[in-house]
Structure 1
Amino acid sequence: MTDILEIARVQVLDEGKGLDSGQALECLRLPDERLGDLLALAHDVRMKWCGPEVEVEGIVSLKTGGCPEDCHFCSQSGQFSSPVRAVWLDIDELVKAAKETASTGATEFCIVAAVRGPDRRLMDQVRKGVEAIREAVEINVACSLGMLTQEQVDDLAAMGVHRYNHNLETARSHFGNVVTTHTWEERWDTCLMVREAGMELCCGGIVGMGETLEQRAEFAAQLGELEPHEVPLNFLNPRPGTPFGDYPVVSGPEALRTIATFRLALPRTILRYAGGREVTLGDLGTRDGMLGGINAIIVGNYLTTLGRSPERDLDLLDELKMPIKALSQTL
């Protein structure tokens, strides 16, 4: 039987064709003693098909907490006893956050709202915020506002929103164990509308929510079918008061194996470090992931959890001689 890494070297590295679900599963099952080889191949794939640049992004929550959905990992759900409560940012605070993000060298600033989908009030607030940010600072504006109608997709595109984030979160076969108030198909439909409207699509998920390795491989292949411009890869950081609050943290080797496998399934995609890397990987593991397929990073804090300081991440990129992607390259 041919070794999966030998297959991937030809199929992914040489030809640029991502792994299918069965092949991804073989990578996820590789023993720890082969992890170094897997990471090295993933890094070679990243360098060949994406290049050395790293895209830096900051995020801010326009509306935090009070969400009606029951995503079992999320402390912003109004259905759980987690301590997060509904808060709105005003436009001045939004612009200040965008300026602070741009000062780190970031080219992307994402406005996030904890909602099922935006109502008229939220769309009006986003419109004002996007306009104010574009007048005040040179940075690409992205949004993550839940599920959209076609009219809302067209409206965001007309505002000049550069990229829209809407995560599938997990494999289709596992989604019902994570969310019950909407379907995987509803999320998929929003992703298709975003892509067809000409905005860049950011779509990823969370690893460590009780899925099997088979389902993790299924998820990688489903993202490959969707072909998003960017995949944010989160690792579950269990939040008190949520149904997943007592779940174990993904181990470092397992997280790195997942990163490398997703790179091999998505050779041309921006693969972004997102939430949970601090508790799962720590400093050394974060470095290993940057050498195992990751080519984008969220700097600073997340929506309801703390991240590493931007300076530490930027110092790491400097140490690894990975240049930050310039704004002119992403506009």
Structure 2
Amino acid sequence: MHDVATGTWHGLADRVLAGESIGRDEALSILRADDTQVLDILAAAYRIRHRYHGNTVQLYFLMNAKSGLCPEDCGYCSQSKISTAPVEKYTILNREKLMDAARVAAERKAKTYCLVISARGPNEREMKAVETIVPEIKAKYDLKICACLGLLTEEHAQRLKAAGVDRVNHNLNTSENHYKEICTTHTFADRKETLHHVRNAGMELCSGGIIGMGETDDDVVDMAMELRELKVESIPLNFLNAVDGTPLEGNDQLTPAYCLKALAMFRFVNPDRELRISGGREIHLRSLQPLGLYAANSMFVGDYLTTQGQPPQADYDMIRDLGFEVTINEETVSS
């Protein structure tokens, strides 16, 4: 703790770059540092980011392929059975709409097309739709496919792998200790079981969480450590957009500085992983959004599931102004 106690965040980065895993106390010290230290923390986090990802940024495109109609009671979600938020409700989209979204993803310089449905888990019709569309998308566009279909069985995971899905997203969302406060219709253990099925099927793991749901600093660190233990390839970090009509409406405990410290902490704990600034960045990081990319190395371009993001050109401009470059399959493209 000596390096952190004396404010030398670069000393902590030196240890991470030398292959040392930081502990809980050090991770907590990042979250609890005075806001005036944010730039020093980010400068140290950037050294780790640069070691593994250079100045590259990977873009993701999110498609809400089935909206609403979810039987789960996740308190943060506008599509849950207990939400009264006025969101669109529709069953899984047809081939034409899913292919058109893939075209948009390619046009927006995204590396990965994220196919998402709202559900406890996929039914047979939804599985067959995904199995049919994924090979077609991959044949026409040079896109990676990430599927987010809810809780998966071992059979589901094997079928997705066979269809050509590269990666499955299933967020832990918060710590095991806090999980019962945000959902009662399934457990933290259920979510981890899905991740194990995905790993055993030979696909990459995309799993992160949401900051700002009434959790403690310890909960945030627990989630970061759990993701490190699971060795997930990609970590999307969301900042709660407290939608009216959800149990967490009006929950507004986040500051831009805290969000930046959380991103930095996740980089220190998971140094070589892909770290994505996800939902809520526009409303919580606000004018400090560009600073987030000194810790993170990927982001969604365009809208989220039921909320809007900023215009894609604003993202391209932000990346260019930082001196960073968009990458697709390890090749840079003009922004």
Range into which the TM-score falls when normalised by the shorter chain: over 0.9
1:220 aligns with 2:224: yes
1:232 aligns with 2:255: no
- List per-residue Cα deviations over 1:116-157 (Å, max 9, x = no partner): 111101101111221331233221111000110001100000
TM superposition outliers: structure 1 runs of 4+ over 3 Å: none
Q: Cα–Cα, structure 1 residues 40 and 327, in superposed 2: closer, same or farther, change >3 Å?
A: same
* Aligned pairs for 1:133-282 within 5 A: 133-282=137-286
Deviation at 1:32, TM superposition (A): 1.2
Q: Distance in 2 between matches of 1:16 and 1:83?
A: 48
Deviation at 1:241, TM superposition (A): 0.7
- Partner SS for 2:2: coil
Q: Which residue number in structure 1 is paired with residue 323 of structure 2?
A: 321
Q: Cα–Cα, structure 1 residues 328 and 91, in superposed 2: closer, same or farther, change >3 Å?
A: farther
5+ residue gaps, structure 1: none
Q: Which residue number in structure 1 is paired with residue 293 of structure 2?
A: 290
Q: Which residue number in structure 1 is paired with residue 60 of structure 2?
A: 57
- Partner SS for 1:111: strand
Query: How many positions carry a matched residue from both structures?
Result: 327
5+ residue gaps, structure 2: none
Q: Which residue number in structure 1 is paired with residue 109 of structure 2?
A: 105
User: Contact (CA 8 Å) 1:21, 1:220: kept in 2 or not?
Assistant: no
Q: Which residue number in structure 1 is paired with residue 311 of structure 2?
A: 309
Q: Cα–Cα, structure 1 residues 260 and 311, in superposed 2: closer, same or farther, change >3 Å?
A: same
Deviation at 1:79, TM superposition (A): 2.3
1:120 aligns with 2:124: yes
Q: Distance in 1 between matches of 2:309 and 2:289?
A: 12
Deviation at 1:328, TM superposition (A): 5.7
- List per-residue Cα deviations over 1:274-293 (Å, max 9, x = no partner): 100000012x31111112x1
- List per-residue Cα deviations over 1:19-77 (Å, max 9, x = no partner): 23222111111101211110100011100123222111101011100100011000001
Deviation at 1:16, TM superposition (A): 3.3
**Please, which of 31, 35, 39 is the counterpart of residue 38 of structure 2?**
35
Q: Distance in 1 between matches of 2:109 and 2:237?
A: 21
User: Contact (CA 8 Å) 1:19, 1:221: kept in 2 or not?
Assistant: no
Deviation at 1:329, TM superposition (A): 6.4
Stretch deviating more after TM superposition (145-154 or 310-319): 310-319
- List per-residue Cα deviations over 1:187-229 (Å, max 9, x = no partner): 0111122122221110000000000111111111111111110
Structure 2 residue identity aligned to 1:94:
L
Structure 1 residue identity aligned to 2:124:
R
- List per-residue Cα deviations over 1:81-131 (Å, max 9, x = no partner): 121242132110111011111111111001000001111011011112213
User: Contact (CA 8 Å) 1:91, 1:132: kept in 2 or not?
Assistant: no
Deviation at 1:6, TM superposition (A): 5.2
Structure 1 residue identity aligned to 2:163:
M
Structure 2 residue identity aligned to 1:239:
V
Q: Distance in 1 between matches of 2:25 and 2:197?
A: 29
User: Contact (CA 8 Å) 2:56, 2:324: kept in 1 or not?
Assistant: yes
The Cα RMSD (Å) is 1.5
Task: Give the alignment's TM-score, normalised by structure 1.
Answer: 0.95
Stretch deviating more after TM superposition (165-174 or 192-201): 192-201
**Please, which of 72, 75, 78 is the counterpart of residue 69 of structure 1?**
72
Q: Cα–Cα, structure 1 residues 85 and 262, in superposed 2: closer, same or farther, change >3 Å?
A: same
**Please, which of 79, 82, 86 is the counterpart of residue 79 of structure 1?**
82
Q: Distance in 1 between matches of 2:330 and 2:267?
A: 25
Task: Give the alignment's TM-score, normalised by structure 2.
Answer: 0.94
- Partner SS for 1:177: coil
